[in-house]
Amino acid sequence: MKIAYFTHSLASCWNHGNAHFLRGVLRELIARGHDVTAHEPEGAWSLQNLLGDHGEQGLDAYRSAYPELNSQVFALGADPEELVDGADVVIVHEWNEPSLIAAIGAIRARGGRFTLLFHDTHHRAVSDPDAIRAFDLSGYDGVLAFGETLSEVYRHWGWSGRVWTWHEAADTRHFHPPAEEGDREGLVWIGNWGDGERTSELESFLFQPARDAGLSLDIFGVRYPPEALAMLERYGVGYRGWLPNARAPETFARHLATVHVPRRYYSTILPGIPTIRVFEALACGIPLVSAPWDDSEGLFRVGQDFLTAADGAEMTRQLERLKQDPDLRRSLIESGLETIRSRHTCGHRADELLAIVERLSAPAALRSVA
């Protein structure tokens, strides 16, 4: 099958978390013999920021880890008819320009012989619904939403029967425990500061508990304003700057544990969406403690795959337990790996995607009873 995926960027993960999962699932589809092309716009801001900060060397980790992947860069005003020519499946991510999203939908509506899916991996459907509803999706066959609560939003908008929950997952070809264990020390947190929507949560569930538990803390990420850096300095946190996602496994391997601090939307009005870091951390075999987050879909075995903390004091206690108890660390690692490998790999998501495409390709009478 020929598959075309329209992304903001495949090459850059600079403040672009969708690239993490996309790389893994496209690699999986290629390994199964599918003809896969990633299309990304010329001048993508994520890539421009990466190159501005780190130059071409900033792409070395991606190129080394994913040699089978590459992107077709298209210019503003490119003919979308040419971009989708010959494709059996076209998937368009919600970070694309509204005009492109509409144009590809119009091609499908005019009789384009491909299955067309819209892929939503963000909270804008609830944080800025007008931005999503402004997209012309009338020509699309269906929606891939990265959490059941997000799927519910689309069902409310009239997509019942044409929206599928398609969670992110770990690329276990790259995200796995180290071949040989070395020394591990302190905590690590990989995440961007963003727009300050979880400042108090980071302070309460990460910075202060790490200090109180007597554990060093290394932080990697971008978009940390001066006031954020000042806060890190007050707590004695080591800020390490941007980390290519392809280097996350080796970084996890040097640390004792990590912490999940969900963005506010994923702990309140879009519960059940863990985001990619949980999948990647567990796949790499690092113990994890999560701030309050409702696993409403039962993706994991809470308390067995990872620990939780209801407040900062409990987070401190959980980190102290991990620091002192190697058997607890080992149990969490083994359980987390088992869950990832049995349910949440990019291989599983490729299976799900191909099943969705098969259903949409079936005659209408069969789809109605599927």
For residue 56, count other CB atoms closer than 10 A to its CB: 9
Q: What is the mean pLDDT of each successive set of 10 residues along the chain, which is 370 residues long?
A: 98 96 98 98 97 98 97 95 98 96 98 98 92 95 96 96 97 97 97 84 97 98 95 98 98 98 86 93 98 95 98 98 98 98 98 98 53
Where helices occur in the chain by DSSP H, the ranges are 18-31, 45-54, 60-65, 80-83, 98-109, 124-127, 129-133, 148-154, 199-202, 208-212, 226-234, 248-252, 264-267, 276-283, 312-324, 326-343, 346-361, 364-367
Residue 275 is predicted with a pLDDT of 87
For residue 150, count other CB atoms closer than 10 A to its CB: 24
Q: Evaluate whether 5 touches 33 at the Cβ level (below 8 Å).
A: no
Distance CA 231, CA 235 (A): 7
pLDDT digits over 126-185, tens only? 989 999 999 999 999 999 999 999 999 999 999 999 999 999 999 999 999 999 999 999
Residue 195 is predicted with a pLDDT of 74
- Supply 215's token pair: 């554990």
Residue 368 is predicted with a pLDDT of 42
How far CA 149 is from CA of 46, 95, 292, 296, 341, in Å, comes to 27, 20, 17, 9, 24
Distance CA 173, CA 204 (A): 34
Residue 364 is predicted with a pLDDT of 53
pLDDT digits over 25-38, tens only? 999 999 999 999 99
- Measure the CA dihedral 181/314/195/228, to 10°: -80
Phi and psi dihedrals of 187, rounded to 5? Answer: -105, 155
Q: Which amino acid is at 309?
A: A
Residue 269 is predicted with a pLDDT of 83
